[in-house]
Amino acid sequence: MIGKHIIGQAKEMVAKLLDDNLDLIDQAYIGSDGGLTVALSVKIEPSKRTGFQILETGINFVVHRAKNQIAKEVSEMQDPLFKTIENMRPKKGSGIDSVNISIPTPGQSVTLKAKEK
């Protein structure tokens, strides 16, 4: 049975978690991008050994947010292009040390050095 006593205990436990974590909650709030969510949980389940209830409370919030991003443009047409270029690369022991590929405009070139087979 769940009554006022068990709910009162849960309130005390949640209040203790908030009090115990006040400094971290404050740091998380100050470092947030516009707010902080603090998730509190209460779990009540019957004890397997006694007629009591097992009461468990929890707190969850993000103190430090890790944020990173990688972006690049890709196309399915790149793979065949890269394979074609790689096939143009000379193989070591073929007698050719490198191949130079140049583009007339804007006058850039790429050197493909010989690679193991």
- Would you state the pLDDT for residue 117? 66
Sign of the Cα torsion 88, 93, 96, 97 reads: positive
Per residue in 12-32, pLDDT tens? 999 999 999 999 999 999 988
Per residue in 52-65, pLDDT tens? 899 999 999 988 76
pLDDT exceeds cutoff 70 at 66: no
pTM of the prediction? 0.55
Domains of the chain, by residue range, sit at 4-60, 84-113
Contacts 24+ apart (CB under 8 A), 108-117: 112/85, 112/88, 113/89, 114/89, 114/90, 115/89, 115/90, 115/91, 116/91, 116/92, 117/91, 117/92, 117/93
User: DSSP secondary-structure letter at 3?
Assistant: -
